[in-house]
Amino acid sequence: MIMGNIHIINDRLSSVVDVRLLVIPLAIILWIGYAAIFRTEAVDKVEEPAQLKDPIPFIFNTFQNLTNMGAFLDRAIPLLRERKVIRFNLALRPVYWITGPNLVQKLFVTNSSLNSNIVPLILIDKLWGVPKEESKRFADDKTGRLTSPIPGTMTSPDQKRLWHTEHQIYDKYLTQPPYSHQLGRHFFDVLAKRLDEFPTTEWTTINLFAFMRYAIPECAIITMFGPRMLELNPGLVDALWDVDANLGKLVWGLPSFITPQPYKIRDGLRAMMAKYLNAAWANFDWNGPDADSDWDVHFGARVSREIALWMKENDLSIETASGHTMARLFGINGNSVPSVTWAMMESLQRPGLLQDVRDEAQKAITVDANTRERHINTQKLLASPLLQAIFQETLRMHTSFMLTREARETISIGGYRIEKGSLIQAPTDVAHYEEAVWAIDGHPASEFWPGRHIRLVEGKDESGNPTTQPEFFAKARPSSFFPFGGGNVVCPGRHFARQQIIMSLAIIVSKFDIEFIEWTTLDGKKSDRPPRNSKDFAGTISTPPDRDMKIRWKRRW
């Protein structure tokens, strides 16, 4: 997600003893730091939901949550499935986890009781590295993203609404046609040319995930930011994945004076973004023929140019602009690359599914009779039932994300009183696997099965004869499926992410004959098992596979 709600990428803790060795020198820091930030008003004691055990009160859960979310989820999920609402503390701050469609739905409502900007504000501070005075401008804007400000939040008629104007730019240039369709077609063309580098008649052996980690970002960067970003910054993709491996430490982890390396890595990538922005501003002709173009070589897509202009008009610094650009860089890669890889891996593991994908994709691709060039009907491809179902199922099974809100006042959820200042979170790790919601026709929620998102619809052909056609449908309500967040802070880049994933899958299986060879570890050694969701990336939205797939492929056209 472009401004995605990101939780922790975790370092594994081997035992409780290891935690105690580390936690003593940090205990005072955690107590003082979190108490100062998160102290809440006293409230009358009422019945509490189930408490997650905290072996070292106020410290163990905090430290494990901040450093090993995979292990924390393993401890918390069984209790959450049983009780539907549980509580623990991050230092002195109460945190409530909820599950179930009716309870989660409460987090989708836009009102003054819930602060939906809590994670974006953390991202602005920790990931973007925004100067304090500018992050305060975002924090002080409580008017929301919608056209009408949240009642009582406008301090003056001429108040600048940062969240709202940013949302307007994303809504127009990322989600609405013709801009969204043009982005999709541009990405398809760039990826098609990238894949043309492979020989037409010879079988070539590759590791699928390793290939995706470079091919998809290069094509996505050219589409969204133009070729200059890559030309100006050799090693950009490597720097991207270096920061990706440290995202949790940046967003939810310890401060820079304790763990300086993640911040140093972040600042290196942010400097690359600043170089790109400064060059774009210096070379783009705002009065020239590209002033109203959909894409140019300096800024890339229209949305990138409009965001840069919005930053400039609001007197936001190059530090803020480069941090914002870095966040969008992650949004178009950090989630899409693992998802495309999983979609390919899942399709290759199921007999007949790969050919079904190829057959459906071919219906949206036409060949020019004169030039023999292939062109894609973006709308037709994205409307393909099977491709949509694979996209939906991939995000359902390979997303680990916390829908997060902050209680601005004392509220009630599930019959429990939630104190002002508490965090309320709904993990996809439970919602996306609820048997009552997702199980169908002998296919449990734990199984990858695109058929749960397809139904047969009766109709008639051109001659009036009865037919039965497959149709994609949403198996569950948004409160049971929220890989892009929900409510007024739903990911603005979700449409481009969907295009990336569906188009990448479609063009690769259409353009290549593909054969599975074996599973490997991420460093290329033979593996005795297929991949699982990497626990190192628990809570980070898309979870990459912890194994790779060695394949051989050969161009078909």
What is the full per-residue pLDDT of the chain (557 aa) written as tens digits?
A: 444 433 333 332 233 333 333 443 444 444 434 443 443 333 344 578 999 999 999 999 999 998 899 999 999 999 999 999 999 999 999 999 999 999 999 999 877 899 988 889 988 988 899 999 999 999 999 888 889 998 888 988 888 899 999 999 999 999 898 899 899 999 999 999 999 988 888 999 999 999 999 999 999 999 999 999 999 999 999 999 999 888 878 877 777 888 899 999 999 999 999 999 999 999 999 999 999 999 999 999 999 999 999 999 999 999 999 999 999 999 899 999 999 999 999 999 987 999 999 999 999 988 888 888 888 888 899 999 999 999 999 999 999 999 999 999 999 999 999 999 999 999 999 999 999 999 998 999 999 999 999 999 988 877 888 889 999 998 889 999 999 998 878 888 899 999 999 999 999 999 999 999 999 999 999 999 999 999 988 988 899 999 999 999 999 98
Q: Residue 553: beta bridge partners?
A: 204, 514
How many other C-beta atoms can be found within 10 angstroms of the C-beta atom of residue 490? 15
DSSP string across 160-179: --HHHHHHHHHIIIIISTTH
Write down the H helix ranges in 284-372.
Answer: 302-313, 318-331, 336-348, 353-362
- Are 533 and 545 in contact by the 8 Å Cβ rule? The answer is yes
How many other C-beta atoms can be found within 10 angstroms of the C-beta atom of residue 487? 18
- Are 251 and 7 in contact by the 8 Å Cβ rule? The answer is yes
Rounded CA gap, 372 and 223, in Å?
24
Rounded CA gap, 321 and 317, in Å?
6
> Distance of alpha carbon 114 from its chain centroid, rounded?
22
Long-range Cβ pairs for the range 531-536 (8 Å, 24+):
531/345, 533/397, 533/398, 533/400, 535/10, 535/12, 535/70, 535/71, 536/9, 536/10, 536/12, 536/70
Rounded CA gap, 247 and 127, in Å?
8
Phi-psi region of 312 (alpha: psi -120 to 50; beta: other; left: phi over 0): alpha
Rounded CA gap, 399 and 497, in Å?
14
Q: What interhelical angle do 353-362 and 385-397 show, nearest 10?
A: 130
- Tell me whether residue 133 is exposed, middle or buried, using C-beta atoms within 10 angstroms of its C-beta: 0 to 12, 13 to 18, 19 or more: exposed
Under DSSP, is residue 425 helix (H, G, I), strand (E, B) or coil?
strand
Which domains are present in the chain?
A: 113-154+161-396+431-474+484-555 (1.10.630.10)
* Tally of helices (H runs) and strands (E runs) in the chain: 22, 19
For residue 486, the model assigns a pLDDT of: 87
DSSP string across 377-404: -HHHHHT-HHHHHHHHHHHHHSEE-EEE
CA distance readout (Å), 50 to 45, 61, 83, 332, 416: 15, 15, 7, 38, 10
For residue 46, the model assigns a pLDDT of: 54
- Are 233 and 276 in contact by the 8 Å Cβ rule? The answer is yes
- Are 173 and 303 in contact by the 8 Å Cβ rule? The answer is yes
Greatest Cα pair distance, the chain, in angstroms, is: 78
- Are 63 and 412 in contact by the 8 Å Cβ rule? The answer is no
Quote the tokens at residue 106.
Answer: 């409460």
Under DSSP, is residue 508 helix (H, G, I), strand (E, B) or coil?
helix
Under DSSP, is residue 156 helix (H, G, I), strand (E, B) or coil?
coil
DSSP string across 129-155: ---HHHHHHHHH--S-SSSSPPTT--S
Long-range Cβ pairs for the range 28-34 (8 Å, 24+):
29/254, 29/255, 29/258, 30/59, 30/62, 30/63, 30/91, 31/58, 31/91, 31/92, 33/91, 33/255, 34/62, 34/90, 34/91, 34/92, 34/93
Helix (H) or strand (E) holding 191: helix 179-195
Rounded CA gap, 218 and 112, in Å?
41
Rounded CA gap, 245 and 370, in Å?
47
Letter for the amino acid at 314?
N
Q: pTM value?
A: 0.88
Rounded CA gap, 111 and 109, in Å?
6
Quote the tokens at residue 416.
Answer: 């429990």
Quote the tokens at residue 158.
Answer: 């001429």
Rounded CA gap, 238 and 295, in Å?
25
- Are 40 and 94 in contact by the 8 Å Cβ rule? The answer is yes
Rounded CA gap, 31 and 196, in Å?
56
Phi-psi region of 434 (alpha: psi -120 to 50; beta: other; left: phi over 0): beta
Q: Are strands 402-407 and 114-115 parallel, antiparallel or unpaired?
A: antiparallel
Cα dihedral across residues 380, 386, 388, 391: positive or negative: negative
Rounded CA gap, 554 and 204, in Å?
6
